[in-house]
Amino acid sequence: MLRNCAPALGLILFCMSSSARADDGYLSIGGNPHLMGPHSTVSMQSEAVDVDIRENNVTVDCQFVFKNTGEACSVRMGFPDQGTTEQRDPKHPQGSFKSYKSYVNGIEIPTETVSGAGKKYEIWHAKVVDFPANSILRVHDVYSDIEGGFQIPPDGCAHFFSYVLHTASSWSGKIGVGDVRITFNSHDGPFHAVSARDVPGANLRKFLRKAPTGTILYSGPGHPEVEGKTLKFHFENLRPNDGSDIVLMYDYQKNLPEK
C-alpha cells in the first residue's frame, strides 16, 4: 500500500513537497512560527539519524548535539511535520506523524503542535530549550509515520523517503559531522544506489522499469554507502542547502489492472 499517491513531477528531486521530515530548526517566538537564523551563538555540532522502514511503517530516531558559545539563552526549536488537510486550522493544528516525542539531555520535554507561517499547510512540533552559558545540550527526537509513495504515470508506483537537512542552516556555522542511516527492513535487496542527477526526468519511468530489484534512486549530500539493507550518508562541516536534502525513490511497481 502506497501513501499519498499523486502524479510524479519528473525527477525525485521534486518530491519534497510531499514530505516534512527534517532537522530541528531555530524558530521565531510568538505568532505563526517560521525559520530564523542563523542563530548567533548556538550551533549543531553533530547529528545521527537512524531510519527503520518496516512493513509500511517508518520510525526515525534523531540525535543532535548543540553547542552554545555565548550567554545563557532560550531557543524555540521546531521539528517540521506535514498537515493532514489542505485547510488550515490554527486553533487545532494536526500533523501526519503517528507519534512524536522529544528529549533534552535524556529528559522528555513537552512540545506543542503549531501551524507555520508558510503558504503550504506547514506544521511544527515546537519546544523551548534553555541553554546555559557556554554549554552543550543533546536533543533527541523520535517519530513514526507510514511509508510514502506516489504514482508514476501511466502505470507505475514507487515508494519514497525524504529527510530535509537544509533546516539546520538556521543554526550558527556548519553541521560539524552527520550520519543518516536508512535501513529497508521490509524490502528485498541487494541494494545499489543511483544518483538522480544521472537520470533525466524524461527517462525516469523507462529507467525504473528496467532497473534491477533493489535499485534506489537518491539525492543527498554525496554518494551513500550501501551496507546490506542500509544506506548511509556521511558528511562533515556541511552548510546545508536545498541540494543537501536526502530524497530516495525505490521499490518501483507496475500497477495491476483493475478487475
β-pair type (192-195, 215-219): parallel
Task: Determine the pLDDT at residue 20.
Answer: 46
Q: What confidence tens digit (pLDDT) does each residue in 159-183 have?
A: 889 998 999 999 999 999 999 999 9
Report, in angstroms and rounded to the nearest whole number, the Rg of the chain calculated over CA atoms.
19
CATH number corresponding to 12-254: 2.60.40.3680
Residues 40 and 172: beta-carbon distance below 8 Å: yes
Domain map of the chain by residue range? 12-254
Q: For the range 192-195, what are the long-range contacts, defined as Cβ-Cβ under 8 Å and sequence gap of 24 or more?
A: 192/216, 192/226, 193/217, 193/218, 193/223, 193/224, 193/226, 193/231, 194/218, 195/219, 195/223
Q: What is the pTM of this model?
A: 0.86
**Cell numbers describing residue 258:** 483493475
pLDDT tens profile 80-135: 887 655 545 666 777 888 999 999 999 999 999 888 766 555 788 999 999 999 99
Q: Residue 77 — very low, low, confident or very high, per pLDDT cuts 50/70/90? A: very high
Residue that has been written with the C-alpha cell 525513490 in this structure = 249
Cα end-to-end distance, the chain, whole Å: 17
Higher per-residue confidence, 61 vs 197:
61
Nine cell digits for residue 45: 555540532
Dihedral sign for Cα 253, 243, 185, 55, please. Answer: negative
Residue 125: CA count within 13 A, CB half-sphere = 24
